[in-house]
């Protein structure tokens, strides 16, 4: 197994020379940081570039392993998440959690892909009953989400094909028990890229 630094160099080689992040960071900037051995910064810049420029599952796997070796657990999970999105697509939504007083969850949860709630996305069983679907949840731009709070989230469905009917503007419901844990409005659907 290659070391983290070699893995990061390999990931840079998978990008076109003209790839640029939203904040203007270029592949050339990343190469300069490699020369300075700013490894954690290199990882972050590669993630930023990949947020704009389509990359492969292999790219994300290289970054995930590099992050694991550097003991950057949240970054590792994010890179693994993004590799999954390339293979299966994703649903982004704005989630509003129910208030604790209204029967919602009583405490915040970590937003790094560990929570796997059930979702009412409109599917029905053969008998016409409501059919709930599982999707792991990643909160964007926040480490956790608590009762009564709202944030944009990314959903990784256990059975992605059952979510393909969703479109922007659809409202779905999160369930962790009764009553529902919150509602989410779909803001983007992305198909697999493989």
Whether 194 shows a pLDDT value over 70: the answer reads no
- Tokens representing residue 51 in the block: 């947020």
Using CA atoms, how far residue 17 sits from 25, 29, 68, 137, 153, in Å, is: 12, 11, 26, 33, 31
Whether 100 shows a pLDDT value over 70: the answer reads yes
Q: Phi/psi of residue 15, each to 5°?
A: -95, 145
User: Using one digit for the tens of pLDDT, what is the confidence trace for 167-193?
Assistant: 999 999 999 876 688 999 999 999 898
Average pLDDT over all residues of the chain: 93
Average of per-residue pLDDT across 105-132: 92
Which range (4-13, 20-29, 152-161) has the least confidence?
20-29
């Amino acid at each position: 197994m290659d070391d983290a630094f070699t893995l990061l160099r390999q990931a840079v080689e998978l990008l076109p020379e003209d790839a640029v992040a939203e904040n203007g960071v270029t592949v050339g900037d990343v190469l300069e940081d490699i020369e300075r051995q700013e490894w954690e910064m290199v990882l972050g810049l590669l993630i930023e570039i990949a947020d704009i420029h389509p990359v492969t599952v292999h790219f994300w796997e290289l970054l995930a392993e590099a992050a694991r070796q550097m003991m950057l657990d949240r970054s590792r999970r994010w890179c693994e998440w993004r590799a999954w999105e390339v293979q299966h697509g994703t649903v982004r939504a704005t989630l509003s959690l129910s208030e604790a007083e209204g029967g919602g969850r009583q405490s915040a949860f970590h937003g790094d892909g560990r929570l796997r709630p059930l979702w009412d996305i409109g599917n029905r069983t053969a008998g016409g009953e409501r059919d709930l679907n599982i999707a792991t949840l990643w909160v964007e731009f926040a480490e956790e989400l608590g009762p009564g709070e709202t944030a944009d989230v990314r959903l990784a469905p256990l059975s992605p094909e059952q979510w393909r009917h969703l479109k922007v503007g659809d409202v779905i419901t999160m369930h962790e028990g009764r009553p529902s844990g919150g509602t989410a409005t779909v803001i983007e659907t992305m198909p697999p890229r493989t």
